[in-house]
Amino acid sequence: MKIKKPVLVVGMGISLLVGFPGVLGHFLTGAQDWAILSVVIAGSGLWFSKKYLKPAIPAKLSPIVIGKMEVVEKISETQKLLKTLEAEVSREVLFTLEERLNKLVFSLDRSVVQAVLTGGQKVGKSSLKNVLELSKINQQIDWLETDSLLKETTIDQEVIKYLSLKADLILFLITGDLTESEWAIIQQLLEKQVPLVLVFNKQDQYLLEERVLILNKLNERLVNVISPSDILSISAVSVPIVVRKIQPDGSIQERIDYLPEEIKPLEIRLKQRLIEERQKLICSNTWRQVTQLKQEAREQLNQVRKERALPIIIKYQWLVGLAVFANPLPVVDCLVNATFSTQMIVEINDIYKQKLLPKHIKIILVTLSELIVKLGLVELTTQSMLNLLKTNSVTYLAGATIQAVSAAYWTNIAGLSVIEYLQEQTEPLSAESPLDLKRLKDKFQQIWSRSQQKEILSNFLKQGLSRIPSGVV
Ligand SMILES: Nc1nc2c(ncn2[C@@H]2O[C@H](COP(=O)(O)OP(=O)(O)OP(=O)(O)O)[C@@H](O)[C@H]2O)c(=O)[nH]1
Ligand SMILES: [Mg+2]
């Protein structure tokens, strides 16, 4: 019998890559280094995607234990956030968020657990749901079956999100050893802390020793990831078997018998989990949903604030540009000294209701200027601008114009970095949570590298030339 290729992933590698830019930032000094690094990271991603699927012992993924108190606290944090939104977002948006939150408050006290049956195509989801609905445990659980998860070659993140928000408990069905795609989905669900029972269905299709072998392999490979008590083998349907009986006269008589479905181990485990963890399962799911709602509320708030902050950046970037055109200054000095860039941050700070003091603003501007110098970004960007001008058949441009557009450009990047920084600043600045300069620098580098895209830079240049006297010959 063909057993599908098993797969497991080394989870730690992923977290290593995620932490990569921040760590290496200390060692890399030039923008070229960063460019090289991007290629290296992209390359290692390719290598990783080909190689990582070797069988290996995965990193421990222990679920977070969430109690009712924590959920209640999260709900009240979210209620507070919605109060803040009141003055800034539309009534409709606020109403929808409030309604959803109220539903979650009620949902915390429900007693019926929502179990979701999922897995690949034809693994027996409907069959299992049918027998479970007839079982005694049905009174305490609502069953929901999803479409097959493995129709597409890539994992749909929306589906993972849906499952993590919908299910108190997932029954993930497989019909043999884990395949690559099944493991990839399971891993993502576990990373989202969704409780999961792995159900090896259609065990009747295997000889007893094969079943044992598969179960052992699953246990061995998922050690520290899924508890052995949550890896179960079952048959969701009754299956026909041919029974041959030798008659006294030596002839053979055949008849069809039915092996009943075998879901006892699953029923026992589900019952046990309900007794021990019912409230925890419900709390964890409500916590995931409130977290999601809070994130959406914050995104809404950030969106309206950004819409208000962007015109401020645009206003000040051109003011800086014009000032530099009239009185050329090295780019770095204009960021640090210009009253315009300071005023820009003051106004952004007001929109984000933060408490940046003049000394903070000074630190922000000095930090960003130093970073620009350290990474040699001025030369790099000026060169990109000059190249773009050449391709646009502008052969000569006064040095002062380029300098002015550059100054406007750096004001823009600084303003956007401050926006991104403040968007993530959930607590007001205080002695306990002072400015996080590393985060600020990371934001700045991300925005800078995004803005280096030809189209974005060329657009900026076009606007700059229409606002700042060009001196084009
Ligand atoms: N031998 C055997 N067949 C099974 C078992 N469970 C389900 N089947 C059969 O597998 C086929 C698919 O079962 P379904 O329950 O429809 O599977 P599904 O996952 O809901 O399928 P889709 O929703 O179409 O992806 C059916 O012919 C079932 O009778 C089992 O434990 N043993
Ligand atoms: Mg089905």
CA distance 234 to 173: 10
- Does the beta carbon of 294 sit less than 6 angstroms from any atom of ligand 1? no
| Phi, psi for 234 (deg, rounded to 5) | -145, 170
- Does the beta carbon of 90 sit less than 6 angstroms from any atom of ligand 1? no
CA distance 79 to 85: 10
Counting atoms of ligand 1 from 1, which one is nearest the CA of 203? 31
The class of domain 68-292 in CATH terms is: alpha beta
User: 10 Å Cβ neighbour count for 172?
Assistant: 26
Task: Name the token pair of 402.
Answer: 């380029």
In this predicted model, what pLDDT tens digit does every residue of 314-327 receive, in sequence order? 999 999 888 888 88
pTM, to two decimals:
0.74
pLDDT of 334 reads: 65
Q: Which protein residue's CA is at the shortest distance from atom 32 of ligand 1?
A: 202
Report in angstroms the alpha-carbon separations of 53 from 5, 44, 153, 184, 378: 10, 14, 15, 10, 42
pLDDT of 466 reads: 87
Average pLDDT value for the chain: 82
Q: Which ligand is nearest to the CA of 119?
A: 1
DSSP letter string, 287-329: HHHHHHHHHHHHHHHHHHHHHHHHHHHHHHHHHHHHHHHHS--
Give the Å distance between the CA of 166 and the centre of ligand 2.
Answer: 18
Q: Choose which residue among 122, 235, 259 to substitute to test ligand 1 binding: the one with the highest number of ligand atoms within 8 A of its C-beta.
A: 122
- Does the beta carbon of 204 sit less than 6 angstroms from any atom of ligand 1? yes
pLDDT of 336 reads: 58
pLDDT of 63 reads: 53
Which residues in the chain land under pLDDT 70? 1-65, 331-338, 392-398, 431, 470-473
Give the Å distance between the CA of 12 and the centre of ligand 2.
Answer: 35
> Which of 382, 402, 384, 380 lies closest to 468, judged by CA?
402
pLDDT of 416 reads: 96
Q: Which ligand is nearest to the CA of 148?
A: 1
Angle CA 195–193–218, to nearest 5: 60
| Packed helices 377-391 and 454-467: angle between N→C axes, nearest 10 degrees | 80
CA distance 259 to 242: 10
pLDDT of 260 reads: 85
pLDDT of 337 reads: 61
Give the Å distance between the CA of 145 and the centre of ligand 2.
Answer: 7
The answer to whether 150 and 180 have CB atoms below 8 angstroms apart is no
In this predicted model, what pLDDT tens digit does every residue of 148-190 receive, in sequence order? 987 777 778 889 999 999 999 999 999 999 998 899 999 999 9
pLDDT of 34 reads: 39
pLDDT of 397 reads: 63
- Does the beta carbon of 260 sit less than 6 angstroms from any atom of ligand 1? no
Give the Å distance between the CA of 128 and the centre of ligand 2.
Answer: 9
pLDDT of 396 reads: 60
pLDDT of 400 reads: 77
CA distance 212 to 221: 14
| Packed helices 157-166 and 264-326: angle between N→C axes, nearest 10 degrees | 120
Strand-by-strand arrangement of the 196-200 sheet: 141-145, 113-119, 169-174, 196-200, 231-233
The answer to whether 347 and 411 have CB atoms below 8 angstroms apart is no
Q: Which protein residue's CA is at the shortest distance from atom 2 of ligand 1?
A: 202
pLDDT of 218 reads: 94
Find tokens 């039915």 and name the residue.
Answer: 258
- Does the beta carbon of 470 sit less than 6 angstroms from any atom of ligand 1? no
CA distance 95 to 303: 17
> From its phi and psi, is residue 178 left (phi > 0), alpha (psi between -120 and 50) or beta?
beta
- Does the beta carbon of 172 sit less than 6 angstroms from any atom of ligand 1? no
- Does the beta carbon of 126 sit less than 6 angstroms from any atom of ligand 1? yes
Give the Å distance between the CA of 330 and the centre of ligand 1.
Answer: 71
In this predicted model, what pLDDT tens digit does every residue of 47-64 receive, in sequence order? 333 333 344 444 455 556
Q: Coil, helix or strand for 247?
A: coil
Angle CA 445–301–168, to nearest 5: 95
| Count, residues in the chain | 473
- Does the beta carbon of 124 sit less than 6 angstroms from any atom of ligand 1? yes
> Which of 232, 149, 219 lies closest to 186, judged by CA?
149
Beta strands in 218-260 (DSSP E): 231-233, 239-246, 252-259
Q: Which ligand is nearest to the CA of 211?
A: 1
The answer to whether 108 and 78 have CB atoms below 8 angstroms apart is no
The answer to whether 140 and 112 have CB atoms below 8 angstroms apart is yes
Give the Å distance between the CA of 244 and the centre of ligand 1.
Answer: 27
pLDDT of 231 reads: 97
